[in-house]
Structure 1
Amino acid sequence: MTALLLGAALLAGCSSTEAGKASRASAGSPDAPAVAKFTAVPAVDAVDVPVNVPVNVTVSDGTIDEVAVSNPEGAPVAGKLADDKKSWATTEVLGYGKVYSYSGKATGTDGKKIELKGGFTTLAPAAQVRGTLFPVDGQQVGVAVPIMVKFDAPVADRAAVQKALTVTNDQNVKGAWAWLSDQEVHYRPEAYWPANTKIHVEAKLYGVAYGGGAYGAADVTSDFTIGRNQVVKIDTPTHQLVVQRDGQTVASYPASFGRDADPELTTPNGTFVVMQKDEQWSFDNPQYGYTNVLKKWAVRFSNHGEFIHENNDNAANIGNNNTSHGCANLVEADAKAYYDTAMIGDPVEVVGSITTLPAKYDWYDWQVPWAQWQTMSAI
């Protein structure tokens, strides 16, 4: 009887083992699950996906046969398969507020095929803010030019925006960004740019979160060149406007500057920048009794209202007395001669006045001491 029971127990144990073996298919059997596995970033069904981060698809225990990400119109997004065929990534940015679809096939190390299906949705901004860049592509400018990025709406997250801005140059000159307002950030070096410097600026703003649901509308770039080093020096009591190139005086023009005793009408102290050139400009100041007064060869160097321009009507005082309302008056021949050499971005350095202009009239970059300028960065 005992022998019979022992035999029965042995028989039951064998049956259990064999049943277990039968229930586990080998990796190479037709019923075994495929070993390869797709991983997609963003994940299938993800929402609010950033548009400026590449889509990545990888496969483990296998290689990719084909993969694609398609936009709502069915057109494929550009992408590149890695040489080892284990990963694929997009090479173009995505669009805001769109549904994209995955499709893909891979072959596992077991020879079995797998598929990738599904999709994701990109974020839809509450607002898209556009940025513009100055100097523009291909422009040649003076040694005091600031690099400017201006936005068509206020920026809440200035640090995020600033991290998207890059300046490189062939002279390895270092500079710093400073926010002049919540819609404008400038970059300049500690001293003037070296002559003939080639500068490249990248503002990778597309997809950057500005805060408050606003995002960057587009990237902007610029490649421009610094021209010769030309500086205008004005010492108001001398009645002379001096032009220096590479530190050497190349011209000295008799001038009449702003009235010495009136703080509202002097040519103020400060380092300014040539902002604009016009062959003729209409001057208006109703407070002082004149409108639409046309003058030639006008070179603006401050948004406070200061120009270097022709004023033959004041010829008797040019070189002798300071009688203007803040501008530098030259006789026509001298105004034309200077105008022809002036370049946007040239510095204009003024001393000798009873008034120093506060740093608030664009472009006032060089009126801010370097140590203070650096504190105006958001990073």
Structure 2
Amino acid sequence: MLVGVGAAAAAGCTGQDGPTAEAVALTVSPRQGGTIAPDAPIAVRAQRGTIAGVTVSSGGKTIAGSLNEDGTAWRSRWALMPGTSYTVSATALGEDGRSRTVRSRFATAAAEKTNPMTLEGPFDGETVGVGMPIVMSFEEPVKDRAAVERALVVRSSKPAEGAWHWIDDEKVAFRTKEYWPAQTKVSFQAHLAGVSTSKGVYGGKNYKASFTVGDSQISTADEDSHKMVVKVNGKKVRTLPTSMGDGTERRFTTTNGVHLAMQKDDPVTMTSSWMGISPGSAGGYSLVVDDAVRISDSGEYVHSAPWSVGSQGSSNVSHGCINVSPSNAEWFYEKTMRGDPIIVTGTDRELEPYNGWSYWQMDWKKWVQGSALKRPVKTGPNADPATLSAQADDKAGEEKPAGG
């Protein structure tokens, strides 16, 4: 329902030559005193005039919105905070040259159940590698994936193209088409607090993070040459002798493809539990390993391995990790950032795209198809217009009652 405020046309005088311009009619939704669902839009429309300004406020904070091209319709951009009171003040200028102002006060219903989100990475203030994805995990399954995607905005100081992709009902990731440009500043905002993730369930809170893409460090480890070449900004800076998976069983073969540095631990305890053997059993082990960089969810690391130095550079003797000497491991650990690509070549065990952050294993077209909106977005200094206008559809002005 819309609340309309207008003025009658000025009374005509006897003998007037032409019609008198009519005053503007201005409508605001939600109605005065109403209670609506948090994901219902605020909409303002003007007839016989144009909107001069709209202010929506709550507790000293203003709400963003967008005006259509001809200035006759305004709509809030993001879902509203649950359990919150809002005030709308809208002014329009009529064809008769006079302005009209409409005010409305309303509230959003409280969220009885929320679906909190955890940002796996990057963290606010973190410096990351050029392959870094943005990875979000929800506590409960998301039924309305499109609504969540519309609430997400990525901006970058240098132009890039990327897309969201749903790993499953609880995890969504953003990946660029090509690696991020080195030395790029990126900001991420998730306007989730009032977004309905499923019936009666809303996002836990809004979230924002800013991170920096550092130098381009790309490492290539080749099984056949037993070497890993590290390049920084395209220049080779070091070659590390390696020993990779011995391949006696498929599970002992290092996975082939584009990995990303996911986590750094110094030290980390590695056990045989990943292959179903308890550390105290025959064939089991428990090792404290220094300078370990995790590159998958299947137990693979680049790490210090003093026990295999004699094989590094000549043969593969590990259970799948990339073994390097203690001095090389310390150097690599210090140089590596989360999101740095570590590419393994020469093995016959292909890395799965959902094994850790191995999203670069999926071709771009298929990656985009994993988006609920089926489209990429631009992440230049200004937010992608397609992202910011995603909610501006033909339903602007429809009021969604609480609990509806």
Mapped contact 1:135–1:224 kept (Cα < 8 A): yes
Confirm or deny that 1:341 pairs with 2:335.
yes
For 1:203, which of 190, 196, 199 is the aligned residue?
A: 190
Confirm or deny that 1:132 pairs with 2:126.
no
Confirm or deny that 1:43 pairs with 2:31.
yes
Residue 325 and residue 76 in structure 1: after superposition, are their counterparts in 2 closer, same or farther (change >3 A)? closer
Q: 2:344 — aligned with what?
A: 350
Residue 316 and residue 215 in structure 1: after superposition, are their counterparts in 2 closer, same or farther (change >3 A)? same
Letter in 2 for 1:370: W
Q: 1:123 — aligned with what?
A: 109
Q: In structure 1, the residue corresponding to 2:353 is in which secondary structure?
A: coil
Alignment of 1:26-105 (within 5 A): 41-50=29-38, 53=41, 95-97=81-83
Q: Distance in 1 between matches of 2:339 and 2:137?
A: 17
Mapped contact 1:48–1:124 kept (Cα < 8 A): no
Mapped contact 1:195–1:227 kept (Cα < 8 A): yes
Q: 1:244 — aligned with what?
A: 231
For 2:264, which of 270, 277, 280 is the aligned residue?
A: 277
Q: Deviations over 1:194-249 (max 9, x none)?
A: 11011121211121122221112221112211100111101111111211112222
Q: 1:184 — aligned with what?
A: 171
For 1:160, which of 147, 162, 170 is the aligned residue?
A: 147
Q: Choose 125-134 or 248-257, whichever is displaced more.
A: 125-134
Q: Distance in 2 between matches of 1:359 and 1:93?
A: 32
Alignment of 1:224-303 (within 5 A): 224-286=211-273, 287=277, 289-303=283-297
Q: 1:24 — aligned with what?
A: none
Letter in 2 for 1:282: T
Residue 76 and residue 323 in structure 1: after superposition, are their counterparts in 2 closer, same or farther (change >3 A)? closer
- CA-CA distance at 1:44 after TM superposition: 3.3
| Amino-acid identity (%) | 34
- CA-CA distance at 1:144 after TM superposition: 0.6
> Greater Rg, structure 1 or structure 2?
1
- CA-CA distance at 1:100 after TM superposition: 7.4
For 1:320, which of 314, 324, 343 is the aligned residue?
A: 314
Q: Whose helix proportion is higher, 1 or 2?
A: 1
Residue 140 and residue 79 in structure 1: after superposition, are their counterparts in 2 closer, same or farther (change >3 A)? closer
Unmatched runs of 5 consecutive residues or more in structure 1: 1-26, 28-34, 61-67, 81-88, 104-115
Task: Report 1 or 2 for greater relative contact order, CA contacts < 8 Å, sequence distance ≥ 6.
Answer: 2
Q: In structure 2, the residue corresponding to 1:264 is in which secondary structure?
A: helix
Letter in 2 for 1:361: N
Q: Choose 319-328 or 147-156, whichever is displaced more.
A: 147-156
For 1:370, which of 359, 364, 370 is the aligned residue?
A: 364
Return the TM-score normalized by structure 2. 0.69
Provide the aligned length of Structure 1 versus Structure 2.
323
Confirm or deny that 1:308 pairs with 2:302.
yes
Letter in 2 for 1:186: A
Letter in 2 for 1:129: N
- CA-CA distance at 1:191 after TM superposition: 1.6
Unmatched runs of 5 consecutive residues or more in structure 2: 1-10, 12-22, 49-54, 65-74, 90-101, 374-404
Q: Deviations over 1:266-299 (max 9, x none)?
A: 1110101000111211000142733431111111
Residue 243 and residue 291 in structure 1: after superposition, are their counterparts in 2 closer, same or farther (change >3 A)? same
Mapped contact 2:28–2:104 kept (Cα < 8 A): no
Letter in 2 for 1:167: V
Q: Choose 263-272 or 252-261, whichever is displaced more.
A: 252-261
Aligned-residue CA RMSD in angstroms?
Answer: 3.7
Residue 372 and residue 69 in structure 1: after superposition, are their counterparts in 2 closer, same or farther (change >3 A)? closer
Letter in 1 for 2:144: D
Q: Distance in 2 between matches of 1:46 and 1:361?
A: 48
Mapped contact 2:152–2:189 kept (Cα < 8 A): yes
